[in-house]
Structure 1
């Protein structure tokens, strides 16, 4: 069976990819349909949670700032309202929000489909690690989603809600813009937290080496700080809070790349001894 897959033509691979996308899309639709029945909880508790000054993140940073004796980060008011300006806005919002929830919750299955697609190109012992791959990749993705929701989103909402160029201007955010901020933040963070997995495969393909990652570490740090500055309010504390996990992910990626290279060298030496 494995041999047949290795001898598949380019068109056969495209056909496999097409069915991968079809099955993944079908899974997303199924989960999105289930999410529809929980739409009240999704909107009222999850999506509108960060607009409440008593949200867990605001409370945590308030207590933390008091404990360490720095200027209080307590949020007492978020002066903005959310409005819908399109006739079909709320219907469209409901559909796409359910689809987004479907993508997030169906992500482990999508990873499984991806693994089946690439597994013929891997060694036999690597193909046996499917469960480990799915578990670690899903865990990193969900940690990234939670990081985006509990860190990036509250910081962004707090900044934009309290920022004003004039007292004559009231913040009345469009619902599409508000939900779009949340969706972009959580999905982007979820995918970014997949960096160690991406580095693993790039190293396997010979496109990245540990030396390359170490040599360009300084540039990576600059890029991470720029990203942190873009997605957070313009204060040093917020940028550091976001930058630290991203830098840790980069260091983990270097370690994973080193392990992959060492294993490849061992496999090559073992093959030479057998020959």
Structure 2
């Protein structure tokens, strides 16, 4: 039985934090289909390439950037996702510190960093791919040390906290965050230097190890449906149980037709 032929491509979701915004690397397509429309960097896999090699090559050709680590995000294979032919794409995710201005090349007419909230109406199914990449990045900050991937080789705890705030979209308590990250083994290493122009303690300037060096949960787990987010995330305050009044508990008299009432154990 003959099998139908199809092509394989790679697409890249490259995220960084620039000017206190979560940004994605986009290219403006210079060829059809979708000429003149924004898209994620990517292209066809050559017969002699594996997926990771193809992703790194396409990123360098279309934007001039090189990243240290790419991870596979997901595969997308809707029959009509590419008007040229049946194409299955394997998306890759990269989280990087602030990078230089990209330089367009190959079939990309322009390359630039765009705030994630402004990246809409992308070519192919790249809106969905981008949304999945942002969701993966936010989720991985919950249980890994991936936040340090957005930082340069040396950074302060305050800079790391700002990364979490930008990616998660909410403010964190500075003291609680500092206590969490500095108390997590193998997450940060003190450099013994201070950031110029500050009176911060030397240990606040830290160097990141590899993302896999964090061996315990330093952030909140993903909350279950219908429940509030856990209070163990860096910078979040734990809600305290109200203090009970001293003395015996008063019981309400049973009403007509009732055998009695009980107080709720909630708070």
TM bin (shorter chain)? under 0.3
Higher strand share: 2
TM-score under structure 1 length normalisation: 0.26
Larger radius of gyration: 2
